[in-house]
Structures are given as structure tokens and as C-alpha cells.
Amino acid sequence: MLGPPYDIMKKDAAALVWVEAAEDLELAKLRIKELATRCEAEYIIFDQRTSEIVGRLNALPTHR
């Protein structure tokens, strides 16, 4: 049995850290927006079927 096809990961200083999986791309996009409100970080959506990054949200603060 296959699991959800989309992995949501958070990028930290050293690596990508798996956060959770999602059944569909639109739900994964909504979820990384929600996660970004709680923790400023860069979030990646990875499609296990194609082995490609299919979404990204950079919620890191910008320094001026």
C-alpha cells in the first residue's frame, strides 16, 4: 500500500526535515502556508512519484 504522494519538508541550516505527508498538491500548498504562520522557515513540497520539488514557500524574515 502506497502512502500519500506529497512530502512536506522544512529546510533547516543543515538539511531538509520531514514534517508530514499530504494526499494532494493543493492541500500540501495550504498546509505549508499554515505551517509558515507558526514557524518562519523555508518549506518544500516533494512529489514522491516524480522525485521532484513541486512547491516551495520561503517564510524566512528578510534582513535589511
Tell me the pLDDT of the chain averaged across its residues: 92
Q: What is residue 13's predicted lDDT score, i.e. its pLDDT?
A: 83
Per DSSP, helices labelled H in the chain are 25-38
Question: Do the Cβ atoms of 53 and 45 come closer than 8 Å?
Answer: yes
Q: Note every long-range contact of 26-32, with CB atoms under 8 Å and residues 24 or more positions apart, other chains counting.
A: 28/55, 29/55, 32/8, 32/57
Q: What is residue 16's predicted lDDT score, i.e. its pLDDT?
A: 92
Query: Quick one: DSSP state of residue 56?
Result: E
Residue 2's pLDDT band, with cuts at 50, 70 and 90, is confident
Global pTM value = 0.87
